[in-house]
Chain A
Amino acid sequence: MVMIAGWSTADDIIMMEQMPIFGGYSGGVEETAICDVATMLASFALFDCDIHLDGPIHIRWGTTTTRETLQIAAHAAAALDRNTDLLLANQYYTLAGPCTEMCLLEVATQAITDTASGRELISGSASSKGVVKDKTTGMEARMMGEAAAAAAGMEIPEVNRILDNLVSSYRDYYLKPPAGKRFQDCYDVKEIRPTDEYLGVYDKALKTILKCGIYI
């Protein structure tokens, strides 16, 4: 609160982050979404926040891309979007690591969810659950941006059908997700260029996403 007082007085933009845990103290998806809405409201009404950074996370898998955490994020965002003009963001924690199709599918799924549920900013991606050193790259952000652009303006029932297909494409791999590669193993570090292998993986993910119902 001391730091918020400083930022607020200096007229800085304050992004307040909070990640509700599904399967924790709150309970099921509905109770967690209720707590998520309450906490987002508190960020603006009590703590001088300008934009809120959400991130419902699964207690078992430690990711934001499961069906349950996507459902919590989407319902909470839609509830606030319909009733306020608050600026809402969401962040990305995937189970799979960079240079894997699963990682890109997870990112695309959440980007489509966040866009269609009315969020204003999306932030990511912390691949490999954001806990493994050097396992994040710009290619995941490319997928995040391109999936969001493709989903913007679509009808919600159509988006839901696509999301069902996308989640089904990776949910069977939760127990043994592909570890992927470090930045320095899937990019030419000097030229900052993704390897041909990663470009091939990206193309393969685009084809799978197209089969799920959306062209990116």
Chain B
Amino acid sequence: MVAPRALDIYESFDRFASGKKVREDTWDYVTIPTNALAMKEKYNINFDNKIIPEDDDLADRLFLAGVEMLACTGFYNTNLGRALSVSEEEILEGIKKAPKKIKMGRGNERVACKARKGNSTRKPIIQGGPTGAPVSEEIFPNMMQSYAQEAAVDTLVSGILNTVSGRPATTNTPWEIKATLAEIRYVREACSMVGRPGMGI
């Protein structure tokens, strides 16, 4: 049966709240490995020694296995200790609403991230940065500038400011907020310093 509509974050929350209670260790040690192995066997998923698949049918079977894995297993919410249920039809309807193209940045630095097909001659968007690695406060803008100045880089991803005003940016404290806002300022400053103020961050 077709799905009445795609889920959104609100309906997903309601489904978690009314979902089946499951122990986290049962989910981790039994549900996931059991169902993943069952999908592997059902769809005959066996990678050969190739890093990138050369067998299109294998890639298609892997897609079907992933859809059924999500539909037959659901998704676990560790805070609630409950698992959400979603049908295959709802999954397929849900991915239809996802964008095929997004734009990042502004002005001369605006880039479009569009769906590629296979190994298109159009390269992917290059997002440069420490990707969440810890960075000293003293060199943070300089390090971000080292990414922003690279011609190959289209957008930036930030690092983690190790301290702010010399204090650790501890989670769930006001210092965390101060550090987050400082990070954004430093990254913007790095973009401006290399003449790319509109870079997506």
By a beta-carbon cutoff of 8 Å, the part of chain A in contact with chain B is 1, 4-5, 8, 13, 25-27, 29-42, 44-51, 67, 70-71, 74-76, 78-87, 89, 91-93, 113-128, 130-139, 141-142, 144-146, 148-149, 151-157, 159-160, 163-164, 167, 183-184, 187, 189-190, 192, 194
- Distance from B199 Cβ to chain A, minimum over Cβ atoms (Å): 13
Total contacts A to B, CB within 8 angstroms?
318
Instruction: Kindly identify which residue among A25, A32, A70, A130 contacts B133, using a CB–CB cutoff of 8 Å.
Output: A130
| A126 near B45: Cβ-Cβ < 8 Å | no
Contact of A13 among B39, B102, B120, B149 (CB under 8 A): B102
Interface hub of B118, B124, B143, B151 (most chain A Cβ within 10 A): B124
CA distance A67 to B191 in the complex (A): 35
Q: A51-B102, A87-B99 are in contact. Are A151 and B119 (CB under 8 A)?
A: yes
Of B69-77, B166-174, B175-183, the segment with at least 4 beta carbons within 8 Å of chain A is: B69-77
Minimum CB–CB distance from A184 to chain B (whole Å) comes to: 6
- Would you call B40 and A34 a contact (CB within 8 A)? yes
Residue ID in chain A nearest B71 by CB atoms: A38
Query: Given contacts A41-B67, A79-B59, are A141 and B115 in contact (CB under 8 A)?
Result: no
Q: List 30 A-B contacts (CB under 8 A).
A: A1-B16, A25-B29, A31-B39, A44-B94, A45-B93, A46-B7, A51-B102, A70-B51, A71-B47, A71-B50, A71-B51, A74-B51, A75-B59, A76-B62, A78-B59, A79-B60, A79-B66, A81-B117, A82-B118, A83-B59, A86-B95, A89-B124, A121-B127, A123-B131, A130-B130, A133-B135, A136-B143, A152-B119, A160-B54, A192-B145
A155 to B120, CA, bound (A): 10
